[in-house]
Amino acid sequence: MPATPSTSDSPAANSTPLLAARNLICERDDRVLFAGLDLELRSGEVVQLKGSNGSGKTTLLRILCGLNDSFSGEIQWQGRPIKGHSDAYLSNLLYIGHHVGVNKVLTPVENLRWSCALHEIATDVDILQALDRIGLRGYEESRCMTLSAGQKQRVSLARLLISPARLWILDEPFTTLDVNGVKLLETLLADHVENSGAALVTTHHNLSVAHHLRVLNLDTHVPDETILQPEGGW
C-alpha cells in the first residue's frame, strides 16, 4: 500500500531519492509490525511517521539507521544499498532516539564534543553557539543530571545545528519540548529541508513545516490476515 502524500510539490521529485526503502517486512514476537512498506525520502522533504502506539515507528527508524537488522527488504542511500556502503550513509545520517545519548555526569559541552567528534570536526565555538541558539545559554557547565528532560533533549538537538548530515531521523523529538522549543525545532526542520536536507520524524504533534511535509501512516501497513493469525493457529 503506498504512502499517503498530503502534498506532492517537493522540489526534487524526479531525482534519485536520498533514502529509499523497498518492501520492508518486520516481525517481532511472532507479530508482523509492518509488511510491504515502501518509503522514499527526497531532499527537501520532511516525512512524518504516524501510527498508533506499538505500531513499530521506533523499530522502523532503527531499521533505517541500521541499528536493527531483524527485517527483510532493501534500504538504499542515494541509490546504493546501505549494507556495504555504510560509511557514506552514516556520515550523512543524524539519528536522535528516545534515549538522547546524553551522559548525565558530563556537561552539555563535553557531551557534544564527543557526539560531534564521532561524525564531524566541531570546535568549541560551534558547540557554544549551538547551545546558545538551542536555548541552553548559562547551562554550558552544568552536569546534565541537573538538567530537565526537555533540556537534555535540547542538548542532543544542538547537534542538528552543528552536523552537516543531510538526513535527520528523529524519534519523538517534540515530546519533552516546551512551546518555544517546538517552534525552534520546526524552524530548524524547515531550514534543513530548504538546504536540500531531508528529515524523517515520528511525532503525534501536528508538524507545521507546511509544504514540504508528507505523512506516512504505519497503521496502514499491517496486513489484516496477520492480526488474525494467532486465532487461526489455535
Which residues make up the interface to other proteins (CB under 8 A)?
62, 65-70, 86-91, 93, 95, 97-106, 110, 113-122, 126, 143, 162-164
Angstrom CA distances, 205 to 96, 186, 208, stand at 17, 11, 9
For residues 162 and 209, which CB has a smaller minimum distance to other proteins in the complex? 162
For residues 3 and 122, which CB has a smaller minimum distance to other proteins in the complex? 122
Distance of CA 34 to the CA centre of its chain: 18
For residues 56 and 213, which CB has a smaller minimum distance to other proteins in the complex? 56
88, HSE (Cβ side, Cα atoms, 13 Å): 12
- State the nearest-atom distance from the C-beta of 97 to other proteins, in Å: 6
For residues 98 and 137, which CB has a smaller minimum distance to other proteins in the complex? 98
For residues 121 and 179, which CB has a smaller minimum distance to other proteins in the complex? 121
CA-based nearest residue to 73, from 209, 210, 82 = 82
Q: How far apart are CA 48 and CA 43, in angstroms?
A: 14
Contact partners, residue 163, CB within 8 Å, separation at least 6:
94, 116, 119, 120
CA-based nearest residue to 38, from 214, 213, 173, 229 = 214
- State the nearest-atom distance from the C-beta of 126 to other proteins, in Å: 7
- State the nearest-atom distance from the C-beta of 115 to other proteins, in Å: 5
- State the nearest-atom distance from the C-beta of 36 to other proteins, in Å: 22
Burial class (CB in 10 A: 0-12, 13-18, 19+), 143: middle
Q: How far apart are CA 12 and CA 128, in angstroms?
A: 34
- State the nearest-atom distance from the C-beta of 234 to other proteins, in Å: 31
- State the nearest-atom distance from the C-beta of 143 to other proteins, in Å: 8
For residues 116 and 209, which CB has a smaller minimum distance to other proteins in the complex? 116
